[in-house]
């Protein structure tokens, strides 16, 4: 009885196995299709998905607004202590700063290779380098395919893309007006070049040189304009405060090549620092030019004074100057020195008035110089800083930009304050000049009355 049950169970198991086996065989085409589809999806994903690398640098933004005037403006609502910080963030994220950065990198030439799975950018790992003649225009939006011809040289194929090709000047970083498609039609070409041999046409001038002995079959080189590259990097840039209330920022960017994003961020920080020095140097240069012009005028005035005194002594036939006359001369010289200083101050007052009227210097920040009035001096210093920040911000920001609008409001308020302050400065300057001129006339009259020696 037990043997019959055992045989029955074995028969049932064999029957079930055959059933499932026939079931699988009947649907095997669908299984093959699913496996093929899964492999295809995996291949497409690995080929076209991009590995994105992320890098961050920390930059400390320092503010120099520590004057009492800044504190007063903050109290009455005309000054935001965070505005300078926000302005600097806008400058860092601006397209102009991105272009300055790209101009100091080698991102204009890209090297791509096609592997078994995906196309990748080599950047600094390329075995060859395209060296262009920067004084010659270059056709961009073309693929330059370089293959090793096995003879110590290269087969170079220039192939048009779907985009409209243009001529680009890499020395001045600008597009040329001529459109290749309209000017000369198709410029596709295939040539064999030796290592280091120049290839020059009306549309190209470059050579291919070996960087190392790494083997390669074929590379694709792409030439791009600074403007197009800068736009891409600007869109990827993120600037966020490092911590709440901190004046430091985290500057983050992404790229498919880890070395490339590192190079970009380091160069961006360097260009931002250099730009800050450039703005300060521009203010210093304008100040020096103003001072230099005034010193030249003072030199002319002093020479004229010496000539007048000599003529006076000659007219009066004063050959041996007495002690009293010598005292008068010294007093006259001192008065002339004070008058010259006041004249320089008056010229600077006139400069400030022209600046406030907007007749001149619309594109330059106000030149800060020392005045006897402390209030007006602080306002001028504040205006000089705001105007320089506005000049740098205005490179890319429109008038509708909220940061620029806030800055314009602050500048307008400071200008109205400065107009009021300068009225008093001008009145005091005029009164002091009139007083010194009267004293000078009296001294000259006294000197003329001295008996001849």
pLDDT tens per residue across span 122-138 = 888 899 999 999 888 99
**Which portions of the chain are predicted below pLDDT 50?**
1-5, 9, 65-81, 182-185, 316-320, 359-361, 363, 453
Per-residue confidence (pLDDT) for residue 75, from 0 to 100:
41
Residue 106 is predicted with a pLDDT of 93
Alpha carbon distance 226, 173 (integer Å): 6
Q: What angle do CA 156, 158, 164 make, to 5 degrees?
A: 165
How far, CA to CA in Å, does 208 sit from each of 7, 22, 148, 157, 196?
Answer: 81, 64, 11, 12, 5
Residue 166's pLDDT is 83
Q: Output the pLDDT for position 298.
A: 57
* pLDDT for position 401: 67
Question: Which helix (DSSP H) or strand (DSSP E) does residue 39 occupy?
Answer: helix 28-48
Question: What angle is formed at CA 101 by the lines to CA 95 and CA 104, rounded to 5 degrees?
Answer: 145
pLDDT the model gives residue 2: 46
Contacts of 336 (CB under 8 A, 6+ apart): 301, 302, 305, 440
List pLDDT tens digits, range 361-379.
Answer: 454 555 555 666 667 778 8
Instruction: Enumerate the domain spans of the chain.
Output: 2-48, 109-224, 276-448
CA 296, CA 340: separation in Å to the nearest integer? 12
CA distance to 213, 305, 335, 341, 441, per residue, from 327 (Å): 88, 16, 12, 21, 15
pLDDT of residue 73: 39
Tokens for 285? 């240069």
pLDDT on residue 438 = 84
Angle made by CA atoms 345, 346, 352, in degrees to the nearest 5: 90
Q: Which pLDDT belongs to residue 392? A: 64
User: What are the residues whose beta carbons fall under 8 Å from the beta carbon of 115, sequence distance 6 or more?
Assistant: none
CA–CA separation, 195 and 210 (whole Å)? 7
Indicate the SS3 state at residue 187. coil
Give me the pLDDT at residue 204, please: 87
pLDDT given at position 132: 93
Residues 214, 63: Cα–Cα separation, whole Å:
50
Distances in Å between the alpha carbon of 267 and those of 64, 196, 230, 272, 391? 24, 29, 13, 8, 22
What is the structure's pLDDT at 79?
44
Give residue 324's pLDDT: 65
Task: Read off the tokens for 437.
Answer: 């001129």
């Amino acid at each position: 009885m037990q043997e019959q049950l055992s045989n029955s169970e074995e028969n049932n198991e064999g029957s079930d196995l055959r059933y499932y086996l026939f079931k699988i065989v009947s649907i095997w085409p669908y299984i093959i299709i699913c496996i093929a589809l899964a492999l295809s999806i995996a291949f497409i994903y690995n080929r076209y998905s991009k590995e994105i690398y992320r890098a961050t640098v920390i930059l400390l933004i320092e503010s120099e607004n520590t004057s009492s005037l800044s504190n007063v403006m903050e109290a009455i609502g005309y000054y935001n202590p965070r505005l300078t910080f926000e302005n600097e963030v806008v400058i860092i994220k601006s397209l102009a700063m991105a272009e300055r950065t790209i101009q100091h990198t080698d991102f204009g030439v890209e090297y791509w290779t096609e592997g078994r799975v995906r196309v990748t950018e080599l950047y600094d790992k390329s075995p060859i380098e395209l060296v262009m003649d920067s004084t010659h225009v270059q056709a961009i939006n073309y693929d330059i395919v370089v293959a090793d011809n096995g003879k110590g040289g290269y087969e170079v194929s220039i192939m048009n893309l779907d985009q409209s090709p243009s001529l680009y000047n890499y020395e001045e970083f600008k597009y040329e007006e001529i459109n290749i498609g309209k000017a000369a039609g198709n410029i596709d070409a295939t040539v064999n070049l030796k290592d280091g041999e120049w290839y020059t046409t009306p549309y190209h001038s470059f050579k291919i040189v070996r960087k190392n002995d790494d083997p390669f079959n074929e590379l694709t080189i792409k030439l791009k304009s600074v403007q197009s590259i800068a736009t891409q990097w600007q869109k990827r840039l993120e600037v966020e405060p490092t911590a709440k209330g901190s004046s430091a920022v985290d500057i983050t960017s992404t790229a498919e090549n880890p070395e490339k994003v590192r190079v970009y961020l380091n160069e961006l920080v360097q260009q931002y620092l250099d730009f800050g020095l450039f703005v300060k140097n521009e203010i210093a240069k304008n100040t020096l030019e103003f001072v230099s012009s005034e010193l030249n005028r003072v030199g002319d005035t002093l020479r004229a004074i010496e000539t007048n005194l000599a003529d006076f002594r000659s007219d009066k036939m004063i050959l041996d100057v007495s002690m009293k006359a010598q005292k008068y001369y010294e007093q006259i010289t001192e008065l002339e020195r004070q008058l010259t200083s006041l004249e320089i101050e008056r010229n600077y007052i006139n400069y400030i008035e022209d600046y406030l009227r907007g007749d001149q210097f619309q594109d330059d920040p106000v030149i800060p110089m020392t005045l006897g009035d402390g209030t007006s001096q602080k306002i001028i210093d504040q205006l000089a800083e705001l105007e320089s920040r506005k000049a740098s911000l205005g490179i890319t920001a429109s008038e509708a930009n909220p940061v620029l609008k806030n800055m314009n409001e602050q500048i307008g308020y400071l200008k109205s304050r400065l107009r009021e302050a300068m009225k008093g400065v001008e009145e005091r300057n005029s009164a002091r000049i009139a007083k010194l001129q009267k004293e000078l006339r009296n001294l000259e009259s006294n000197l003329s009355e001295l008996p001849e020696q």
